[in-house]
Amino acid sequence: MAWDTVEIQHRRFRTRWMGLDPREVETLVQQMAEETQRIKLENAALRKDLQERDEELKEYKGREKAIRNVLMTVHKSAEQIKESAEKEAKLIVAQAELNGENILREANERLTRLHAEINELKRHRMQLEAKLRSVLESYQQLLDMEKGDEDELEQPNKVTLLSR
């Protein structure tokens, strides 16, 4: 049975002939009522404090949950950014390799063209040298023939000069 402060204060006892001292009983009852009142007030204050702390705890748990959600989101975003950066890096490397291969292919093609041009120029030079030799030989033959004609013309003159 729960005793209320008012019930304790208004509780009355029967008196008997050699019974308890009513003043002491009243004093004890009064003290019990005051102590019960103090305990009830303290209990109410503790309940209020407990309720406030429960609310604070709920608030902190809510904040903790929000922080965990933010951390999870940040972690996921960081992972996505990392994956995206890795993909982009792979694409850049692949593009650089492709560009490098294209540059090498073009350089090889140009080198092949330059070798072909050099060979063509060498062949052309050889043809020009052969034509030039041929022309020079032709002129040499013409000069030799003309000198031979002059020698023949000069020999009778020499003979005539000697015979004179």
Average pLDDT over residues 113-140: 95
CA angle 51, 55, 56 (to 5 degrees): 115
What pLDDT does 158 receive?
54
Owner of token pair 């204050």: 45
Where are the chain's structural domains?
5-12+19-163
Share of the chain above pLDDT 90, in %: 62
Q: If you count DSSP H runs as helices and E runs as strands, how many of each does the chain have, helices first?
A: 2, 0
Tell me: the pLDDT tens digits for 59-117? 999 999 999 999 999 999 999 999 999 999 999 999 999 999 999 999 999 999 999 99
Instruction: Name all contacts of 143-148 with Cβ < 8 Å and 24+ positions apart.
Output: none
Tell me: the pLDDT tens digits for 5-45? 777 777 776 777 777 777 888 888 888 888 888 999 999 99
